[in-house]
């Protein structure tokens, strides 16, 4: 259920939907330094950061998509994917346009890259502020209060910021997450892992879980394919774990790009070095966006990744985007008892009792209640 609605307001040529940002510093000559993500963009007046939705207007930073949800859905939480966080429950999911990455294989590129596409078409810098108003053509009016009210009325226990990178619309997230937390609703990031340290510290009291994409263990891959860097993602995986935010990691396995034994072994060893109890999702790539020439990931590649993860000592490894009941279910790492059976995103069996295996009593990492 994706909802799209054009809502644009102009007052004397100024975009009325702009919301003053909180995560930024003022620099000389009306430049600003955005503190939302690890790019730490230094932005000239009349321009946005890499994400395309955080605009410097006269030396002040504004969020262009506050309260404007471009994608809205109620999903099974397993779709995020989160397998060890409130399994079998629904999660209200929202995202905006824009992204701080430029992944060649992005499956939501029509949303994530739209802000950059709009700007590329603008030749006259004087038109930028006005034309950037078109970003909300893909957004419906959905303020924080309305989101929380919807979840309360329908008894939806958690809320996901997803579809594009959440941290780029930080002020929208922060206000929503704070309201949700006060009502007992959990908050979840589905993220590329490029949050700034400042953003993580600000959202920490209200963030309950995060799934971070670890797209590769190669700096070259991150620069060429994602237009970003590897190290900030590794730091945020460690940071989230240290902050005791429930953490799961996803790797999209792309044929010929990040599917070598060496690459997968490096990823698995890194995750295990943080904690062997972090679930690792290895998911199948399907041709999309600028990678239409690549074949889909064969099931054998995911099976290989599964074995590599097990060899590295990871307790919970799951395959995704393929039909694989065995490797999408949760088993006790100690005795092999089936704990949670899954058929795609549907729970078919649930046997965890008081966070433990009912057969051997081993504590199973996760948030179960």
pLDDT given at position 130 = 47
Question: Is 1 a domain residue?
Answer: no
Question: Based on the structure, what is the number of domains in the chain?
Answer: 2
pLDDT given at position 353 = 95
Residue 59 and residue 197 in one domain: no
pLDDT given at position 113 = 77
Residue 212 and residue 329 in one domain: yes
pLDDT given at position 330 = 98
Residue 343 and residue 234 in one domain: yes
pLDDT given at position 119 = 60
Residue 241 and residue 194 in one domain: yes
Asked which of 42, 63, 84 is the last residue of a domain, the reply is: 63
Residue 92 and residue 221 in one domain: yes
Predicted confidence (pLDDT) per residue in 28-86, tens digit: 999 999 999 999 999 999 899 999 999 999 999 999 999 999 999 999 999 999 999 99
Question: Is 260 a domain residue?
Answer: yes
| Structural domain range at position 134 | 68-350
pLDDT given at position 2 = 30
Residue 51 and residue 112 in one domain: no
Residue 125 and residue 223 in one domain: yes
Residue 50 and residue 182 in one domain: no
pLDDT given at position 16 = 46
Residues of the chain with pLDDT below 50 are 1-16, 128-130
pLDDT given at position 183 = 98
Question: Is 360 a domain residue?
Answer: no
Question: Is 154 a domain residue?
Answer: yes
Question: Is 2 a domain residue?
Answer: no
CATH number, domain of 158, equals 3.20.20.70
Question: Is 367 a domain residue?
Answer: no
Residue 247 and residue 267 in one domain: yes
Question: Is 359 a domain residue?
Answer: no
Residue 75 and residue 51 in one domain: no
Question: Is 361 a domain residue?
Answer: no
Residue 180 and residue 304 in one domain: yes
HEC secondary structure over the chain: CCCCCCCCCEECCEECCCEECCCEEECHHHCEEECCECCCCEECCCCECCCCCEEEECCEEEECCCCEECEEEEEEHHHCCCCCECCCCEEEEEECCCCCCCCCCCCCHHHHCHHHHHHHCCCCHHHHHHHHHHHHHHCEECCHHHHHHHHHHCCCCEEEECCCCHHHHHHHHHHHHHHHHHCCCEEEEEECCCECHHHHHHHHHHCCEEEEECCCCCHHHHHHHHCCCCHHHHHHHHHHHHCCCEEEEEEEECCCCCCCHHHHHHHHHHHHHHCCCCCEEEEECCCCCCCCCCCCCCHHHHHHHHHHHHHCCCCCEEEECCCCCHHHCEECCCCCCEEEEEECCEEEEECCECCECCCCCCECCCECC
pLDDT given at position 103 = 93
Residue 105 and residue 248 in one domain: yes
């Amino acid at each position: 259920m994706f909802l799209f609605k054009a809502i644009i307001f102009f007052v004397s040529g100024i975009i009325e939907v702009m919301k003053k940002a909180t995560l930024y510093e003022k620099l000389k000559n009306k430049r600003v330094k955005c503190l939302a993500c690890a790019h730490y963009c230094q932005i000239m007046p009349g321009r946005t950061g890499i994400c395309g939705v955080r605009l410097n207007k006269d030396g002040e930073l504004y969020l262009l998509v506050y309260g404007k949800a471009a994608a809205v859905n109620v999903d099974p939480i397993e779709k995020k994917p989160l397998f060890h966080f409130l399994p079998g429950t629904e999660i209200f999911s929202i995202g905006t346009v824009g992204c701080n990455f430029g992944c060649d294989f992005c499956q939501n590129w029509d949303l994530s890259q739209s802000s950059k596409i709009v700007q590329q078409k603008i030749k006259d810098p004087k038109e930028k502020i006005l034309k950037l108003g078109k970003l909300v053509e893909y957004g419906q009016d959905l303020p924080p209060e309305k989101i929380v009210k919807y979840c309360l009325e329908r008894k939806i226990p958690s809320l996901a910021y997803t579809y594009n990178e959440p941290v780029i619309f930080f002020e929208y997230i922060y206000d929503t997450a704070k309201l949700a937390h006060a009502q007992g609703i959990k908050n979840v990031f589905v993220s590329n892992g490029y949050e700034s340290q400042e953003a993580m510290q600000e959202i920490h009291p209200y963030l309950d879980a995060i799934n971070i994409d670890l797209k590769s263990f190669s700096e070259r891959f991150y620069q060429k394919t994602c237009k970003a860097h590897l190290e900030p993602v590794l730091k945020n995986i460690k940071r989230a774990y240290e902050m005791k935010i429930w953490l799961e990691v996803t790797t999209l396995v792309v044929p010929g790009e990040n599917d070598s034994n060496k690459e997968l072994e490096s990823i698995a060893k890194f995750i295990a070095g943080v904690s062997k109890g972090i679930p690792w999702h290895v998911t199948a790539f399907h041709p999309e966006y600028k990678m239409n020439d690549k074949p889909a990931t064969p099931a054998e590649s995911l099976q290989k990744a599964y074995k590599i993860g097990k060899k590295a000592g990871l307790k919970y490894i799951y395959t995704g985007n393929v039909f694989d009941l065995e490797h999408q279910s949760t088993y006790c790492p100690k005795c092999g008892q089936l704990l949670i059976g899954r058929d795609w995103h549907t729970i078919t069996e649930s046997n965890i009792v008081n966070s433990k295996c009912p057969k051997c009593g081993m504590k199973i990492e996760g948030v179960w209640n």
